[in-house]
Chains A and B, each alone.
Chain A
């Protein structure tokens, strides 16, 4: 009840509903509490998978076996991938900040289906636990990698079915959240909030939700087909049974490439909120950002084949997918120009959220440009399945989604908890994190160009320097992550009380109390202005 002594209002954290204690969380249909349930569970799994990642790097600190054998290495990188991709990165931003802030930013009291929202979290937890259980139950940890490629995943003697089921169940959670967000945005915007008066983070969630709803069922069915092949011997993918192994890759990437946009679009939405606030300037090119989000969501459906250039797909397919891969870079580049133009001439306030957001641009650009290198047919042949791909992927996903998540948590923390973290410590943690990140992943570009394969437990001595620097970077990165988490956890109760609008933001979440009340608004606001008018008045 510490907050009650400090605030004149009863926040959602103190709200006394039907249930008490832990049940007030586990049975809550309040979108803010569900957002926090996602935050805590995703943070837990992030730490687990980060430790697994560190173990992988420690194994690679020197040639030959160091801390684990080859089979264990395969199991560890598989679990690292499954947890990070399916449990942390895909749901991450949407489930945490989307749940917490979408209704507030559109002037609603909750999402359209609050009970379905809670059910989504329970399904998410069941899927996550199944994923972890796959390591300990049955015939040993799955060793297929997170992509579950056939024919190996259909034949591996390890516990693949558990892991497939986990990914299948997690997909349900994603679909339900997507449906909830689409209906919420269509039906529950405040009076006066037309589509083009909606802030850009909800817009990014809207584009993402459509991908979640339309693409996730495809991977769900595909994973079931692998289970059917393993258990019933049905020949979907096995050529000996009349199947086609490339069909799996098509079906898998029809979902899993758009899934990259499920990860990155909300990240783009978060930083699009941060740049105007910390520049005290309207966002540059609102319409262009909206259209580019929708364009990324649409074109992103048709680039999956760039994961398959070396598999023997047809010439025309390779041409088509390579061309569209270059096309999808255009809306991403439009956003980057808009963010930079938003800061140009603005009153820049270099606080931790902006530091992370600017890092996002820097790292995402490196990831994006190296993506074009991989999207070009000729260079792809040389770089396919090398550590160059690992570096590219992590620059996009960790440098993009991860840093945007850190930007988001530092931006909205005072609103979520009504307390402020230690800004100086946050700045130092950012510096350590940013340094560690680049030391970890940049050497992988170089040794990848030199021919270091990915997912290899051992390597030739010529790659030692790169791996050594990378492992040192991993240790620095983990130190940075723990500094950041310490800061956020320690000051959750001990930090100074945050004002309702510490960053001088103008979107709706900054017009209500910190932390928000149970129903967000006493009276549903009437929207009169576009969302980013800094020099005139707030949106209501």
Chain B
């Protein structure tokens, strides 16, 4: 049942992840200075989602996992998005 193949990430790969995360954190901070109106939360969540994707893909080795495991994560993310949409239906139509 075990399809897992061992994989060791390079330090360079970790460094790239770190750099990307620092850069995106800077963008998150800068976004607080810009008034995006109703899109504020959507944009900040988008940036956060990109950060999460980078962490999951490279740092947590999802890239090297089976398709089944990847689909579980994608399903979880889809559930999260659906919950957000349902929540914001209240805010947009209240």
Contacts and interface: CB of A to CB of B under 8 A. Distances in A.
What interface size band does chain A fall in? 10 to 19
Interface residues of B, number: 14
Nearest to B91: A314
A301 B79 contact: yes
Contacts of A254: 83, 87
A250 B76 contact: no
B67 interface: no
Contacts of A305: 86, 90
Contacts of B90: 246, 250, 305, 313-314, 316-317
Nearest to B83: A254
A214 B94 CA distance: 27
B26 interface: no
Interface string B73-94: 0001001001100110111111
Contacts of A23: none
Contact of A214 (B2, B79, B87, B92): B79
A302 B80 CA distance: 11
Interface in A254-299: 254
A187 interface: yes
Contacts of B89: 314, 316-317, 320
A317 B83 CA distance: 12
B76 A320 contact: no
B8 interface: no
A312 B2 CA distance: 51
B76 A214 contact: yes
Contacts of A302: 82-83, 86
B1 interface: yes
Interface string B1-36: 110000000000000000000000000000000000
B85 to A, nearest CB: 10
Given A214-B76, A250-B87, A254-B87, A316 B82 contact: no
**Majority SS at the chain B contact face:** helix
A79 to B, nearest CB: 30
Contacts of B76: 214
A214 to B, nearest CB: 6
Contacts of A316: 89-90, 93
Interface in A379-428: none
A317 B86 CA distance: 8
Nearest to B87: A250
B60 to A, nearest CB: 14
Interface string B43-70: 0000000000000000000000000000
A172 B2 CA distance: 28
Contact of B94 (A187, A301, A313): A313
A295 to B, nearest CB: 14
Contacts of A315: 93
Given A187-B1, A214-B76, A250-B87, A317 B82 contact: no
A301 B93 contact: no
Contacts of A301: 79, 82-83
B44 to A, nearest CB: 15
Contacts of B2: 187
A199 B89 CA distance: 39
Contacts of B82: 301-302
Given A254-B87, A302-B86, A312 B79 contact: no
B83 to A, nearest CB: 6
Contacts of A314: 89-94
A271 B86 CA distance: 33
A214 B87 CA distance: 16
Contacts of A246: 90
**From A214, A302, A317, residue with most partner B Cβ within 10 Å:** A317
A128 B92 CA distance: 39
A317 B1 CA distance: 44
A317 B93 CA distance: 8
A320 B94 CA distance: 13
A316 B76 CA distance: 25
Nearest to A315: B93
Contacts of A187: 1-2
Interface of B: 1-2, 76, 79, 82-83, 86-87, 89-94
17 contacts: A187-B1, A214-B76, A250-B90, A302-B82, A302-B83, A302-B86, A305-B86, A313-B90, A313-B94, A314-B90, A314-B91, A314-B93, A314-B94, A316-B90, A316-B93, A317-B86, A320-B86
Given A250-B90, A302-B82, A314-B89, 11 more contacts: A187-B2, A214-B76, A246-B90, A250-B87, A254-B87, A301-B82, A305-B86, A314-B91, A314-B94, A315-B93, A317-B89
The 5 closest A-B pairs by CB, nearest first: A314-B93, A317-B90, A314-B94, A316-B93, A313-B90
